[in-house]
Amino acid sequence: MPIQIVRNDITKMECDAIVNAANPTLLGGGGVDGAIHKAAGSGLLRECRTLGGCNTGEAKITGAYKLPCRYVIHTVGPIWKNGCDREEEKLRSCYRNSLILAKEHDCETVAFPLISSGVYGYPKEEALYVAVSEISRFLLENEMTVYIVVYDKSAYRISKKLVRDIAEYIDEHYVETHQILRSAQFFNRPVEKCAKGSMSAPMESEASLNELVGQVDESFTQMLLRKIDEKGITDAQCYKKANVDRKLFSKIRNNINYKPRKATAIALAISLELDLAEASDLLQKAGYALSHSSKFDIIVEYFISKREYDIFTINEALFEFDQPLLG
Ligand code: APR
């Protein structure tokens, strides 16, 4: 997964490089700057003293000393002035220049905090959007795994309506499953005899019998590649939108019987913008189903049923409900 959003303390990240949200003096401060200097020890400050400061939007690299990584990349984000001082452009250059430095030092994994979203006042949701879009742009041309380390949930502020809608959807479906399980136990009957209708979505597209028979032996990989062709997209467009690593996609493509992880299979179904029936069909070919006894699955089903396929929005919702992220 080329870009991952994780909740952690960046000083604990065991990457090739972590990025520090510094100030122009590079001599330490509060927030993530203070945490990194504290965890790295005095050697970091001694080296920073030799750098002669750093301009906003630029980046400089040092050793990592006692931190569990190889490098610290120091960058200075813009102070938020209500968007009147080219803040987005400066923030984007922080990510771009840090990534260029990481690449020049052969880093394969890099962790960013949400630059400028603390003391410097950049609205967190917007700061996260800029981070994801600028890092994604770099990853279109470069192979690297980038972590965005979100320290607190306030960075994600999906609309309260969306949270309410999803919570209602979970209650409606999640409770239903437990009622089914309880009635099955109570009446000692197989669950499928109690379920109201099938768990899987009704087939929206009534495929012809021949077509269905033709697909019965189709593997996950075969269906995936068929759908890529049908959608008229490239492999790269599919796996990048799914936030799936190129190497992993190659393994899937080159092994007709490959069985990916469930989150990967779901991410690919979403990148292909499959409807619920097709997504369930693709998942079944990897041995999975969207289960109503899993909040993760119900949230994914919510978005597919609403035909909302933006992985970033779905991950925001999964994050809000303390579920693992897609990709
Ligand atoms: N790990 C990950 N993220 C963290 C950590 C941590 N240990 N500590 C704080 N953060 C998050 C904050 O929640 C915020 O979302 O990092 C983001 C950036 O916040 P700041 O550290 O305040 O950085 P910034 O907003 O860029 O302000 C920079 O603050 O610390 C001073 O010297 C620094 O003057 C500079 C200014």
Q: What is the pTM of this model?
A: 0.68
Which residue has tokens 């990349």? 73
User: Higher confidence at residue 104 or residue 217?
Assistant: 104
Compute the distance from residue 11 Cα to the ligand 1 centre, in Å: 12
Ligand 1 binding pocket includes 75 (Cβ within 6 Å): no
Task: Kindly state the average pLDDT of the residues 244-265.
Answer: 91
* pLDDT single digits (tens) 274-327: 999 999 999 999 999 998 888 899 999 999 999 999 887 888 888 888 888 776
| pLDDT above 90 as % of the chain | 59
pLDDT at 196: 40
Select which of 16, 33, 281, 297 is catalytic. 33
Calpha distance 242→43 (Å, rounded): 41
Residue that wins the pLDDT comparison between 173 and 68? 68
Distance CA 300, CA 320 (A): 13
Taking only the tens place, the pLDDT of each residue in 184-203 is 444 454 544 444 433 333 33
So what's the pLDDT on residue 321? 83
Q: Rounded to whole angstroms, what are the CA distances from 63 to 40, 113, 175?
A: 9, 18, 52
**Spacing, Cα 234 to ligand 1 middle (Å):** 39
- In total, the chain counts a number of residues equal to 327
Q: Is residue 309 within 6 Å of ligand 1 at its C-beta?
A: no
Q: Amino acid identity, residue 145?
A: T
Banded pLDDT at 224 (limits 50, 70, 90): very high
**DSSP letters of 176-214?**
HHHHHHHHHHHHT--HHHHSSS-SSPP-SS---HHHHHH
The more confidently predicted of residues 134 and 213 is: 134
pLDDT at 273: 96
Among the residue ranges 86-100, 196-210, 223-237, the one predicted with the least confidence is: 196-210
Q: What is the mean pLDDT of residues 142-170?
A: 74
Among protein residues, the one with the nearest Cα to ligand 1's atom 10 is: 32
Q: Is 93 in the pocket of ligand 1 (CB under 6 A)?
A: no
What pLDDT, on a 0 to 100 scale, did the predictor assign at position 300? 94
- What would the mean pLDDT of 211-223 be, rounded to a whole number? 75
Ligand 1 pocket, mutate which of 25, 32, 130 (most atoms under 8 A from CB): 32
- Å from CA of 116 to ligand 1 middle: 7
22-55 confidence digits (pLDDT tens): 999 999 999 999 999 999 999 999 999 999 999 9
30 CA to centre of ligand 1 in angstroms: 7
pLDDT for residue 155 is more than 80: no
Worst-scoring range by mean pLDDT, 132-136, 204-208, 263-267, 320-324? 204-208
* Active site annotation includes 33: yes
**Residues 322, 308 contacting (CB under 8 angstroms):** no
Contact in structure between 281 and 304 (CB atoms under 8 Å): no
- Are 307 and 277 a contacting pair, CB within 8 Å? no
Instruction: Judge if the beta carbon of residue 78 lies within 6 A of ligand 1.
Output: no
